[in-house]
Amino acid sequence: MKIRIIKGLCLSMVLVGFLAGCSTTQKITSSARTATEQLLISEAVKRSLAKSLDSSLPIPKGSVVKLDLFGISGDKDLMKGIIAGWLGQQGYVAQDESATYRMNIVVDSLGTESANTFFGIPPISASLIPIALPKLSFYEADYQAGYSKFHLDIFEVSSGRFVGTVPFVANTHYNKHTVFFLFTFKRTDLASPPTVGSFMNLIH
């Protein structure tokens, strides 16, 4: 009986050592936002803008437009740059001088949301026995979503007359799934998401 107990303890220690040795620690970012978060935001803005206007703006093509931006998000410069480029592609001129129309870009919401689903064993650190176990995920899912909602209020510069408003909204997603501790796969609608190291990358 004692021999069986000793064998069981030895086998358990080997298994614990294997699982602990195979754990992967990932440094999320060295910048204010991860590259994935930045893509989620910028691509959400781009997707909200139609590829073709189809007369959705109540001003004639070729108009010179002055852009003013309002919102509480810290990414307002990004928003203004993307919209200026989009207007140029559609045949408008985005500049302050000689503008016939003023366009207020009102950012209602711009950012990311995240959620996590976890089924497994949380990290364990023992005080009596010098053994620490990493988090063991039988199944884990990390969900990230980018969201962009804004509208354009258009005014005639000479008279200040309100011309019209045009709304835009879109979202993006990047989801990472872990199965049986080591095996990961991703689901995303981002065009070129960054790839970081994982167990599956190491064995290829």
Question: Is 22 contained in some domain?
Answer: no
Percentage of residues in the chain having pLDDT higher than 90: 52
* Entry pTM: 0.74
Question: Is 47 contained in some domain?
Answer: yes
Give the mean model confidence (pLDDT) for residues 98-120. Answer: 93
Strands (E), 63-135: 64-70, 93-94, 101-121, 124-125, 132-133
pLDDT-derived band at 31 (thresholds 50, 70, 90) equals low
Question: Is 17 contained in some domain?
Answer: no
Q: Are 110 and 75 in contact (CB under 8 A)?
A: yes
Where does residue 10 rank: exposed (0-12), middle (13-18), buried (19+ CB within 10 A)?
Answer: exposed
Question: Is 21 contained in some domain?
Answer: no
Question: What is the SS3 assignment for 165?
Answer: strand
Distance, in Å, from the CA atom of 45 to the CA atom of 68, rounded to the nearest integer, reads 17
Distance, in Å, from the CA atom of 27 to the CA atom of 175, rounded to the nearest integer, reads 18
Question: What is the SS3 assignment for 5?
Answer: helix
The string of pLDDT tens digits covering residues 110-164 is 999 999 998 887 777 766 666 777 777 888 999 999 999 999 999 999 999 999 9
DSSP state of 195: -
Q: Number of helices and strands (H, E) in the chain?
A: 4, 8
Query: How many structural domains compose the chain?
Result: 1
pLDDT-derived band at 32 (thresholds 50, 70, 90) equals confident
Contact residues for 190 (Cβ-Cβ < 8 A; gap 6+): 36, 39, 40, 43, 172, 174
The string of pLDDT tens digits covering residues 151-191 is 999 999 999 999 999 999 999 999 999 888 778 889 999 98
> What is the model's pLDDT at position 149?
95
- What is the largest distance, in Å, between two alpha-carbon atoms of the chain? 96
pLDDT-derived band at 17 (thresholds 50, 70, 90) equals very low
> What is the model's pLDDT at position 13?
46
Question: Is 119 contained in some domain?
Answer: yes
Give the mean model confidence (pLDDT) for residues 1-5. Answer: 53
Question: Is 129 contained in some domain?
Answer: yes
The CATH number assigned to the domain holding 131 equals 3.40.50
> What is the model's pLDDT at position 22?
47
Segments forming the whole domain that contains residue 179? 32-202
Contact residues for 131 (Cβ-Cβ < 8 A; gap 6+): 16
